[in-house]
Structure 1
Amino acid sequence: MQAPPAFGENLHRLQQLLDEVRAEDLHLVPRGPSAAAAGDGPPWAGVVPPVSYMHICETESFSMGVFLLRSGACIPLHDHPGMNGMLKVLYGTLRIACMDTLPSGAAAAPPPPAAGGGPCLRALFRSRQHYTPASPPCLLSPHTDNLHQIDAVDGPAAFLDILAPPYDPQHGRDCHYYRLLEGPPAGAEPPALPREVWLVETPQAADFWCGGEPYPGPRVCL
């Protein structure tokens, strides 16, 4: 479906506004590293959720909230079917890997074996970049950068997230998780991007879950 004529202008304006948002505007205080826990796992393992969500508001047109990642946390590779989105880092550093799904007929070779996996799909691994509060928002559309993996780098991080329209399984906008089937050999430099890759759909990872926290910022009037 073609976007209305004003879509590009409105998107650019929203991007400009979001670029100005800072953690203090939402009454957020950057958090220090979590207290250490026993064992070799990350400090939050088995104690608190690796990721928390602060709900701000949601309508039929969009949702808005803040994700908070503990040090070492990762939001696994997932999609946003039929959705546009913006992600603005409020504090910390995120490494965001972005991918596009490719038409099924674009595959030049059969997928590698995926033990215990679900359906495979071909994708274009477009970018892997670091984002900080000084970075412009990371954008996604239904066809570009629609698959994301988000990792907290060198400490906790938080980002403001806007999705339009919001997730809604009853209207085909449900979240799916994926795993990259091929990767560079151990100790080798990552292959250059962009490149075509195979993904396999997987259940939500057992070590990933999202808790909830109250939103401390200003009230949103709709």
Structure 2
Amino acid sequence: MTVFSKLLFGTMHIKSYDLLACEGKQQPEVKNQLPKVRLAKVKTNSDLTAPCNTSILYPEDGGNMHCFTAVTACAVLDVLGPPYNDDEGRHCQYYFDFPSSQFSVDGVVVPNEEKEGYGWLQERDRPVDLVVRGELYRGPPFFK
């Protein structure tokens, strides 16, 4: 899916990743006690303050694995296309992120000067305090 995110007011921090496999590189084997940890490249790691441009996150490039953190009171409008649908294989997944230097890895060397540009993502259950309200768009068609 493609995600359009618009910060409506306030300031938020966005950190986004692309999984290494999406860049045509194979996932390395990870030697640690945590299951299903995947290497990802940081695409964005910055604060946004409204008014600002709309962020576009593409399925395999552009940081579709992302985390928003409120710096001040803020609101974000996310438009997903197509929307999440478990039956059609479009699951909403949640991750813990870890610094790239946290695990020993066979098959991938991350140079010291690039360590900040990578991280490890581990899938997790949906946070219990997360509230998401979805609505079907009922406005005029985007495309004719």
Asked if Structure 1 and Structure 2 have the same fold, meaning a TM-score greater than 0.5 normalized by the shorter chain, the answer is: yes
* Structure 1 stretches lacking a partner, 5+ long: 1-82, 186-190
Aligned match for 2:64, one of 146, 153, 156: 146
Aligned match for 2:47, one of 130, 154, 167: 130
Percent identical among aligned pairs is: 26
How many residues in Structure 1 have an aligned counterpart in Structure 2? 125
Q: CA RMSD in A?
A: 2.8
Code of the aligned partner of 1:209: L
Provide the rounded CA distance (Å) in 2 between the counterparts of 1:148 and 1:112.
Answer: 24
Deviations 1:27-77 (A, max 9, x none): xxxxxxxxxxxxxxxxxxxxxxxxxxxxxxxxxxxxxxxxxxxxxxxxxxx
The answer to whether residue 52 in structure 2 is matched with residue 167 in structure 1 is no
With the length of structure 1 as denominator, give the TM-score of the two structures. Answer: 0.49
The answer to whether residue 139 in structure 2 is matched with residue 220 in structure 1 is yes
Provide the rounded CA distance (Å) in 2 between the counterparts of 1:183 and 1:193.
Answer: 6
1:194 CA drift (Å): 5.8
Equivalent residues of 2:27, 2:38 under 8 A apart: no
The structure that has the greater radius of gyration is 1
Runs of 4 or more off by more than 6 Å in structure 1? none
Provide the rounded CA distance (Å) in 1 between the counterparts of 2:68 and 2:46.
Answer: 10
Q: 5 Å matches for 1:19-34?
A: none
Paired position in structure 1 for 2:2: 84
1:176 CA drift (Å): 0.8
Provide the rounded CA distance (Å) in 2 between the counterparts of 1:143 and 1:156.
Answer: 30
Code of the aligned partner of 2:122: V
1:160 CA drift (Å): 1.7
Q: Specify whether residues 161 and 200 from structure 1 end up closer, same or farther in structure 2 by C-alpha distance, changes over 3 A only.
A: same
1:147 CA drift (Å): 0.4
Paired position in structure 1 for 2:110: none
Provide the rounded CA distance (Å) in 1 between the counterparts of 2:125 and 2:90.
Answer: 16
